[in-house]
């Protein structure tokens, strides 16, 4: 990866082919993506209500909850015909298999649903089969482990019961690939031995509850579907943060909290953590370059229900201090605007190079990893 250098007019973040000495001024760590349908939920469990089809799920730009319902009535039995139009009510026994691609597509839809509605759906429909969230956890963890082994065998759905009273004490942070693969194995072991989904996972960041476990593994498969490889890490945010919707009445306070936190991170070039130049750098060290800062901002804004995307330049020459620079834009209902770094006295910089902007990472792709875009 190209090394970075400071912008001479105040420490703005850019990327360059040359190496310049860097000076750390100060650093403070603040704890701080076919045929898929959903049913709404109010508590993350498997209670059924009316389904929401994927074509009704659009990016939320006004930061309010929008729910579209139909009068579809589910049944308690399986209706099997030619194997392609099987309809299974949530919670029913099943003898249906899904391909890795079908499971990944559903994982992308669940990821988008959570980021738009700040809750899990009751079920997700895969190839006309209603899959409950406990069953979905079985499918996505099995698929993840198969992908890691290079296997493409279809995965058969099982009858999986919901856990009770899932606790959570997890903190913001990243779980590395080796760790989330181990967690997936733990999920499979529990389901295979008890027939019930685990109510929590003990991670290096604390206890991850059932709902957040599903969301976390969905994000991993969403990334894999987009990039054709597993991510080096997955970012984790407390479920209570995810379910706290940024509405028209509190959006500014959410922006201010995130902005104040970002402003604490010093702008330091050429820093990586575990070989990555992303949010993990800021979380671990409390400082980093524009890639790390943009990744952190993007992840935080997405988790808060605020549309965000990462931008770069299409034509900044390698000789420019803005070469490979990255920054964040947000959309709170009035179109895309650059993140106001100056408003929060950020030590990082936005769109200041005067070159042609381009989108590096669209909304809903957390965790953000700019290197994966080939920028």
List, as one string, the DSSP characters of 307-322. EEEEEEESS--TTSTT
Contact predicate 236/173, CB 8 Å = yes
Give the best-scoring range by mean pLDDT among 21-30, 40-49, 104-113, 165-174.
Answer: 104-113
- Find the mean pLDDT for residues 285-310: 92
Q: 206 forms bridges with which residues in the sheet? A: 203
pLDDT band at 255 (very low <50, low <70, confident <90, very high): very high
Average pLDDT of the chain to the nearest whole number? 78
Amino acid 41: pLDDT: 39
**Domain boundaries, given as residue ranges, for the chain:** 37-231, 251-373
List C-alpha distances in Å: 290 to 235, 272, 281, 325. 18, 12, 11, 7
In eight-state DSSP terms, residue 368 is: P
Contact of 291 with 277, CB cutoff 8 Å? yes
**Higher-scoring residue by pLDDT: 112, 19:** 112
**Which stretches of 232-336 are DSSP H helices?**
239-242, 251-262, 279-285, 290-303
Token reading at 54: 């994927």
pLDDT of residue 245: 64
In whole angstroms, give the CA distance from residue 253 to residue 241: 14
C-alpha distances in Å from residue 7, one per residue of 24, 60, 79, 192, 247: 14, 35, 64, 55, 36
pLDDT category of residue 297 using cuts at 50, 70 and 90: very high
Residues with Cβ < 8 Å from 62, sequence gap 6 or more?
A: 248, 332, 333
In three-state secondary structure terms, 283 is helix
| Average confidence (pLDDT) over 53-65 | 32
- pLDDT above 90 for 247: no
**Comparing 298 with 74, which gets the higher pLDDT?**
298
| pTM summary value | 0.56
Q: What is the pLDDT of residues 332-366, one digit of tens each?
A: 888 999 999 999 999 999 999 889 999 999 988 87
Segment 156-184 mean pLDDT = 91
Structure confidence at residue 167 as a pLDDT band (50, 70, 90)? confident
């Amino acid at each position: 990866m190209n090394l970075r250098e400071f912008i001479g007019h105040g420490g703005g973040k850019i990327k360059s082919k040359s190496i310049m000495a860097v000076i750390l001024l100060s650093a403070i760590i603040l704890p701080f993506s076919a045929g898929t349908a959903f049913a709404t939920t109010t508590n993350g469990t498997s209670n059924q209500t009316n389904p929401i089809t994927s074509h009704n799920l659009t990016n939320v730009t006004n930061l309010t909850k929008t729910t579209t319902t139909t009068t579809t009535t589910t049944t308690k039995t399986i209706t099997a015909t030619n194997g392609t139009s099987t309809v299974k009510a949530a919670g029913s026994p099943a003898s249906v298999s899904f391909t890795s691609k079908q499971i990944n597509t559903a994982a992308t839809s669940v990821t988008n649903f959570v980021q738009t509605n700040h809750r899990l759906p009751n079920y997700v429909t895969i190839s006309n089969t209603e899959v409950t969230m406990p069953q979905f956890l079985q499918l996505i963890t099995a698929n993840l482990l198969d992908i890691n082994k290079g296997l493409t065998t279809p995965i058969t759905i099982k009858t999986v019961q919901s856990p009770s009273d899932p606790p959570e004490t997890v903190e913001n942070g990243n779980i590395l690939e080796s760790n989330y693969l181990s967690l997936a194995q733990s999920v499979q072991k529990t389901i295979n031995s008890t027939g019930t989904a685990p109510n929590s996972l003990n991670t290096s960041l604390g206890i991850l509850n059932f709902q957040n476990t599903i969301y976390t593994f969905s994000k991993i498969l969403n990334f894999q579907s987009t990039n054709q490889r597993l991510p080096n890490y997955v970012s984790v945010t407390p479920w209570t943060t995810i379910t706290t919707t940024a509405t028209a009445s509190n959006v500014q306070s959410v922006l201010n909290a995130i902005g104040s936190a970002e402003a604490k991170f010093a702008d330091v070039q050429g820093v990586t953590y575990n070989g990555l130049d992303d949010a993990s750098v800021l979380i671990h060290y409390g400082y980093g370059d524009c890639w790390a800062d943009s990744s952190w901002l993007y992840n935080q804004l997405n988790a808060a229900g605020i549309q965000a995307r990462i931008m770069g330049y299409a034509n900044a020459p390698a000789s420019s201090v803005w070469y490979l620079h990255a920054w964040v834009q947000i959309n709170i209902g009035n179109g895309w605007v650059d993140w106001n770094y100056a408003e929060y006295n950020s030590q990082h910089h936005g769109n200041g190079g005067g070159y042609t902007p381009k989108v590096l990472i669209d909304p809903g792709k957390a965790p953000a990893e700019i290197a994966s875009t080939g920028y």
